[in-house]
Structure 1
Amino acid sequence: MPHSHAIPLKSFLLNTARIELWPAKLLSARTNADARALSRAHTVLRRKRDGRYLAAVMSQGVLPLQPRLVHEPGIEAALDAMDALDTTRGFDIDAAGELPLDSLLERLDVLGLDEAYGDRTGLSLVAEPAALALAGFDRYRRPLWLTLASARAWNAMRRSATKDGITLEAISGYRSHDYQLGIFERKLARGQTVDQILTVNAAPGYSEHHSGQALDIGTPGEPPAEESFEQTPAFAWLTRHAGDFGFVMSYPRDNAFGIIYEPWHWYYAGNNAS
């Protein structure tokens, strides 16, 4: 029998340093060729940096969706992860652990960033989970990925709020190192310096969103990630009840990290929630 925390392929994302393995049913086709491939696939290899579909995995084997797939950075690790899956038994997500930080550290070095950034800000490097659970969908109908424990806590909290007449919406959950690196690369290409970018964006690897345990939370009719969220009944409910579900607000006013007040950003700390 499967482990008690084994979940079906359609409900988790398998993570590697450069490539994610997505359930095909959660992805939208961008071309006719994609549509044909996705209709037959159970898993799609998706480049983390830009979201490009690299290959479709089906019972007959792997169908490349990009030329020169064998030369794609990280493809061997992604295919090895795929080969290790037991597609008939589901996946024991609790056993997956975290990805190593080696690749991130190499890329931070290229940006001229080292441990001095963490010392200066008080922020720690955050590893990515090697697997994430589908926690439902966000405000924009995008799949919401979190660690399994965070996903269960979020959905329990959301259901409890609903019973009290409060609607909580996820604005965003897990974000990869590559996502944040992409922001830096695009801004550097437009002529900004790393120091300029750091005034508005955290360095890649230092965001709680990388952990799969952080959520930006909103409520209908309220713009995302705005301080005005603190004036809503949803925020008042979270202030009273979020700790019961293991969530804490990471960046209150005058926080030690010097990060702006973020009443919308909540982190799953589990039993350590205050």
Structure 2
Amino acid sequence: MRGQPRILINTPEIELWPGGLLRARSNFDARAIARARYVLRRKRDGRFLAVDLPEGLLALVTHLRREPGLDQALDALESLHPHTRSGIEHVAELPLDRLEERLHALGLDGAYGERTGLPLVPEPDWLALAGFDRYRRPLWLHVDAARGWSHMREAALRDDVVLEAISGYRSHDYQLGILERKLARGLSVEEILTVNAAPGYSEHHSGLAIDIGAPDEPPAEESFEHTSAFAWLREQAEGFGFVMSYPRDNPHGIVYEPWHWCYRTG
């Protein structure tokens, strides 16, 4: 990983992860990923598709060439090579592909946005590594939010307050998976949507939102408001560009979320 940019390249169907940040189940995949510059990962289920090695692309699945979105992912990969591009300066938005398909899977349609007042949220075409979350997973954020989070976390530490990242960027497909797993546990769509926005409408898609926790506190619980971390955020977060998106009695039908903070770019 030395000398490589620590960025996640995002395309509508496939993510390109820097090598060394993913763990594989099979020995073959693990050996390939250990040598990879980038790993092509299918967004809808997390399947590893291929690795970019110094000697070229190595497929990890059969019929790789039939994979939806592969051409876009390979174009993005090519743009990263030093002889074609010196770096990434601008964050662009991905098209809102398959939005209706994801909503229909939950029995929803475009009226959901009108009813809740939640705007559609595109995914960025790349994200910065902002460290690791409480569970040692890579924390991906929009580059502006990543800088804001780093400065805010360091400032809190100087005041003897520990801020832990619980969750950052989530793709539309990942959000759909969260809702589907809760449905499988017997929760209704209506119950779930008071806690999780429908895919396409979550601030996490932008990479600007981060769920924040405190040591020894359960994640994403209202009890977070009684911690010194929340007290510090309430006084200091806005100075670093972060605001709490869902206070009590917010107009979107989302429960009070003292842990959810979003970086405002404007």
| 2:64 aligned residue (69, 94, 108) | 69
In structure 1, stretches of 5+ residues that fail to align are 1-7
Decide which moves more: 40-49 or 168-177. 40-49
Of Structure 1 and Structure 2, the greater helix share is in: 1
1:154-173 equivalences under 5 Å are: 154-173=149-168
Shift, 1:200, TM fit: 5.0
Question: TM-score, normalising length from structure 2?
Answer: 0.91
Distance 1:126 1:66 in 2: 31
Shift, 1:90, TM fit: 5.3
Question: TM-score, normalising length from structure 1?
Answer: 0.88
Shift, 1:80, TM fit: 1.8
Shift, 1:117, TM fit: 0.6
Q: Which residue of 2 aligns with 1:247?
A: 242
Distance 1:190 1:168 in 2: 30
Decide which moves more: 97-106 or 64-73. 97-106
Q: Which residue of 2 aligns with 1:83?
A: 78
Query: Is the contact made by 2:141 and 2:207 (CA closer than 8 Å) also made in structure 1?
Result: yes
Amino acid at match of 1:81: A
Query: Is the contact made by 1:132 and 1:147 (CA closer than 8 Å) also made in structure 2?
Result: yes
Identical-residue share of aligned pairs (%): 65
Shift, 1:195, TM fit: 5.3
Please give the root-mean-square deviation of Cα atoms over the aligned residues, in Å. 2.1
Cα deviation 1:64-87 (Å, max 9, x = unaligned): 011111122222221121122234
Query: Is the contact made by 1:9 and 1:91 (CA closer than 8 Å) also made in structure 2?
Result: no
Shift, 1:61, TM fit: 1.1
| 2:226 aligned residue (220, 223, 231) | 231
Shift, 1:183, TM fit: 3.2
| 2:119 aligned residue (120, 124, 143) | 124
Query: Is the contact made by 2:194 and 2:253 (CA closer than 8 Å) also made in structure 1?
Result: no
C-alpha distance 192-76 of structure 1, shift in aligned 2 (>3 A): farther
Amino acid at match of 2:58: L
Q: Which residue of 1 aligns with 2:263?
A: 268
SS in 2 for 1:63: strand
Decide which moves more: 48-57 or 200-209. 200-209
1:191-206 equivalences under 5 Å are: 198=193, 201-206=196-201
C-alpha distance 91-114 of structure 1, shift in aligned 2 (>3 A): farther
Distance 1:60 1:77 in 2: 21
Query: Is the contact made by 1:9 and 1:90 (CA closer than 8 Å) also made in structure 2?
Result: no
SS in 1 for 2:155: helix
Distance 1:269 1:18 in 2: 27
1:97-112 equivalences under 5 Å are: 97-109=92-104, 111-112=106-107
Q: Which residue of 2 aligns with 1:174?
A: 169
C-alpha distance 116-46 of structure 1, shift in aligned 2 (>3 A): same
SS in 1 for 2:198: coil
| 1:58 aligned residue (49, 53, 57) | 53
In structure 2, stretches of 5+ residues that fail to align are none
C-alpha distance 196-258 of structure 1, shift in aligned 2 (>3 A): closer
Distance 2:184 2:158 in 1: 48
Cα deviation 1:133-173 (Å, max 9, x = unaligned): 00000001100000111000000000000000000000000
Distance 2:172 2:27 in 1: 30
| Count of residues in Structure 1 that have an aligned counterpart in Structure 2 | 263
